[in-house]
Amino acid sequence: MRPKIYLFGDSITEESFGDGGWGASLANHFSRTVDVVLRGYSGYNTRWALKVVDRVFPEAESSGAAAPLAVTVFFGANDACLPDRYGAFQHVPLDEYKRNLHSIVASLKKRWPSTLILLITPPPIDEVQRIRYPYVENPLGLPERTNEAAGAFAKACVETAGECGISVVDLWTRMQHYPDWRNAFLKDGLHLTQEGNKVVFEEVMKKLNEGGLSLNNLAIDLPILSDIDHVDPLKAFQQ
């Protein structure tokens, strides 16, 4: 049975198998070694994610041999909705966000002690685009998310990773290293362009590699073409 990597998160995970998406890129990279399993839930915050974590990862898939190699946990963009704008029902206070993330990580670590758990912070926010592309009618004309709020949640996410002793991709900080991050990486001020997806893919790959997950040390499923003898190909398929 092939090992798995689960991608657990909100819409930025759910749409990660779109054209050039970071999830599809992971699946493509690990095409003969790992099943990359999509568990993205658009709009979810950590409060809702914590409610469903046991249903997302049911007991039947939790036994020893089936423990995944890694799980990415990518929440915070919805928690960081401002409490007095149209996304208020998705907002989670910062201290609860940290507690929820701790609980999600603890739940995963309890069932799979040796699985690499990788937190990903929310991306930065471009407020100009968020006003231009509102998700619902927005008569106030104010953004429902700000970059400052996203930054506070990103910082809390990085702190949580440190407290749990696990890896983290600080996407909020990483993306803002590029001068044109707003237009290069964000297609509506929140969701990612193909270039933005590429940043997530590359950062996740770095952390997986640092955690010992690379094509160099994963078993390849069935003989690869270059190992098949041209004179006696079936030799490769004797068990």
Task: Tell me the catalytic residues.
Answer: 11, 188, 191
Contact flag: residue 192 with a copy of itself (CB under 8 A): no
Spatial distance between the Cα atoms of 14 and 2, rounded to a whole number of angstroms: 22
Q: Both tokens of residue 31?
A: 């095409």
Q: Return the residues of window 193-212 that contact a copy of itself according to CB under 8 A.
A: 194
Q: Which helix (DSSP H) or strand (DSSP E) does residue 128 occupy?
A: helix 127-132
Spatial distance between the Cα atoms of 90 and 82, rounded to a whole number of angstroms: 9
Among the listed residues 89, 148, 162, 219, the single contact to a copy of itself using CB under 8 A = 89
- Name the DSSP letter for residue 121: P
Q: What are phi and psi of 169, to 5 degrees?
A: -100, 115
Among the listed residues 83, 93, 162, 233, the single contact to a copy of itself using CB under 8 A = 233
Contact flag: residue 61 with a copy of itself (CB under 8 A): yes
CB 237 to a copy of itself: min, Å = 4
Among the listed residues 27, 77, 154, 166, the single contact to a copy of itself using CB under 8 A = 27
For 134, the 3-state DSSP assignment is coil
Q: Interacting stretch for a copy of itself, rule CB under 8 A, among 23-31, 115-123, 140-148, 184-192?
A: 23-31
For residue 182, what are the CA distances in angstroms to 123, 124, 177, 179? 10, 8, 11, 8
- Nearest Cα residue to 72 out of 37, 119, 24: 119
Among the listed residues 106, 128, 215, 224, the single contact to a copy of itself using CB under 8 A = 224
Spatial distance between the Cα atoms of 60 and 43, rounded to a whole number of angstroms: 27
Contact flag: residue 234 with a copy of itself (CB under 8 A): yes
Chain positions contacting a copy of itself, by CB under 8 A: 1, 14-15, 17-21, 23-25, 27-28, 31-32, 35, 37-44, 47-48, 51-52, 55-56, 58, 60-61, 88-90, 194, 221-222, 224-225, 228, 230-231, 233-234, 236-237, 239
